[in-house]
Structure 1
Amino acid sequence: MSQTVVASGPGHRLFLAVPRGAPPAAGWPILYLLDGNAAFDFLTPDHLAAVPGLMLAGIGYDTDRQFAREQRTLDFTAPEGPGDGIRPDPVHPGRLAGGAAQFLDRLTGPLRAAAEAAAPVDPTRRTLWGHSFGGLFTLYALLTRPGAFARFAAISPSIWWDEALIRRVADGAGRLASPPPLLVALGDREKRSGSDGPPPDGPAPATMRFVADLRDRNGLSPQVHVLPGLVHIQTIAGSLPLALPFAADAVPG
């Protein structure tokens, strides 16, 4: 794997890890990692060595912080109502929400084009990974544009954020004609930031119910992994040994 290179663009930073050597005839399989600033911080040489034939693209923000909290809240949450769907965040005062449809256009348009200009990519072997709000967005992308990626990995998705809305998105999707593979991972000690009390003992019930409903209602067959002993932030690193081979093993479809 070549050394990671960083490219800056308007509002975003693109982090790339490109395999060494000649690409396959169809191009490299590629894993898109949302919150790329944080995701690439958690990647290790051992992670990359385990998947030498997988290209990685971190979609980050133009900041030196791991997370651009206001921007990711806007980008990763589903729209509601007419027009562009942008509205005040009902959970975090002072933030905006509802920009997921617009961000999905950018992700599959100019951001994808910039990432894939760096090396030949197999368009049938793209995987999307997201953590927390990024995991929520990954589910939104799967339910609204299941053909945008070949595989999806939703890590500790923030189902608690307007759960009724993401359930309406799932209801609107119905049973998918060709459901793509879905990996879901979450810790058994996660709790919301700022909440009182000790960490729970077990995975988030709302997430587990939602994933079960994806199977029953939408025809998906999620691979569900409960990561023992992990709190919310730890599931970024904890998910990588699962998500990287999941993306690398994606077969052309």
Structure 2
Amino acid sequence: MSQFGRVGPDHARGQAQMRLFQTGAPTHELSQKVVAEGPGHRLFLAVPKAPPPPGGWPVLYMLDGNAAFDFLTAEDLALAPGLVVVGVGYDTERQFARERRTLDFTAPDGPGDGLRPDHVHEGRTAGGAAIFHDRLTGALRAAAEAGLPVDPARRTLWGHSFGGLFTLYALLARPGGFARYAAISPSIWWDEALIRRVARAAAPASLPLLVALGDREKRSGTDGPPPDGPAPATMAFVEDLRAHPGHRAQLHVLPGHVHIQTLAGSFPLVLPFAAAD
């Protein structure tokens, strides 16, 4: 069955090969660490070999860190030799921890902790984005930046798919966590009404946002060929967000890209975006 078959895309069950850690990178020192926080996380770090600037290095946080660093190459890192890159993943050998990311990357809805059954994926729990955001900007950030001269005013958050949905939630609901945001192929379809409610309730914030998506994307597990054009819901959401007070959204459509391809396809855009002054 193809990667778009009903059993789900092949990449969702794929093992991470982490070739970057085998080949190395001329511009960055590579390392990993496990953090026993929440469900257990694995951090992947690429730290510049060059001396830091007086104010410290900018840092790019990448959700789904196992997959992000599985696709990341030395050539990608060379685009931003003065940028710290941190992959925030889970303590697994797979590219994606599907149940955990569903919980962590989806917004709460309602009082209390907001946890509820996932209305799309039977058997999964959703709504833990607020809890995860606290973990991300607390214990995980502290572990990632320990001993590193990082500029706290130049932190960027990147997320793909459900991670892109979380990135939008973080920008709108918790804008103090990062200075810049990059939402790649955000899964707005998962609960478009909810993310629009979050956007309407958001306070004005003058924070740079980069959105990228492909023009051949479709939901995993659905029949038919990929569409010819970017997701209308995402395009409409970005246009609405541009009209929201203070938000600055730049939009990139990646030609010929299906959903999984936009992950790595965004790197040439995102690394310079995160490294910029």
Question: Is the pair's TM-score, using the shorter chain for normalization, greater than 0.5?
Answer: yes
| Counterpart check, 1:241 vs 2:268 | yes
How do 1:190-209 and structure 2 match up within 5 A? 190-209=217-236
Equivalent of 2:70 in 32, 38, 41: 41
Equivalent of 2:209 in 167, 182, 192: 182
CA displacement 1:198-242 (0-9 Å, x = unmatched): 100000000000111111134322110000000000001100000
Equivalence for 2:201:
172
Q: How far apart are residue 179 of structure 1 and its match?
A: 1.7
Equivalence for 1:108:
137
Counterpart Cα distance in 2 of 1:170 and 1:214 = 8
| Counterpart check, 1:77 vs 2:106 | yes
CA displacement 1:65-108 (0-9 Å, x = unmatched): 00000000000000011110011001111000000000000000
Q: Is the 8 A contact 1:146 1:179 kept in 2?
A: no
Counterpart Cα distance in 2 of 1:140 and 1:86 = 15
Equivalent of 2:191 in 159, 162, 173: 162
How do 1:18-167 and structure 2 match up within 5 A? 18-167=47-196
| Counterpart check, 1:224 vs 2:251 | yes
Q: Is the 8 A contact 1:16 1:56 kept in 2?
A: yes
SS of 2:197's equivalent in the other structure is helix
Q: How far apart are residue 132 of structure 1 and its match?
A: 0.2
Q: How far apart are residue 9 of structure 1 and its match?
A: 1.6
Aligned length: 248
Q: Which amino acid aligns with 1:211?
A: V
Counterpart Cα distance in 2 of 1:154 and 1:237 = 13
Structure 1 gaps of 5+ residues are: none
List 4+ stretches of structure 1 deviating above 4 A: none
- Please report the RMSD computed on the Cα atoms of aligned residues, expressed in angstroms: 0.9
Counterpart Cα distance in 2 of 1:179 and 1:161 = 26
Equivalent of 1:17 in 46, 55, 58: 46
SS of 2:266's equivalent in the other structure is helix
Equivalent of 2:238 in 204, 211, 223: 211
CA displacement 1:177-212 (0-9 Å, x = unmatched): x32000000000000001111100000000000111
Counterpart Cα distance in 2 of 1:45 and 1:76 = 28
Counterpart Cα distance in 2 of 1:14 and 1:163 = 30
Q: Is the 8 A contact 2:61 2:86 kept in 1?
A: yes
Q: Which amino acid aligns with 2:219?
A: R
SS of 1:146's equivalent in the other structure is coil
TM-score, structure 1 as length reference: 0.96
Q: How far apart are residue 36 of structure 1 and its match?
A: 0.2
Q: Which amino acid aligns with 2:90?
A: Y
Q: Percent sequence identity over matched residues?
A: 74
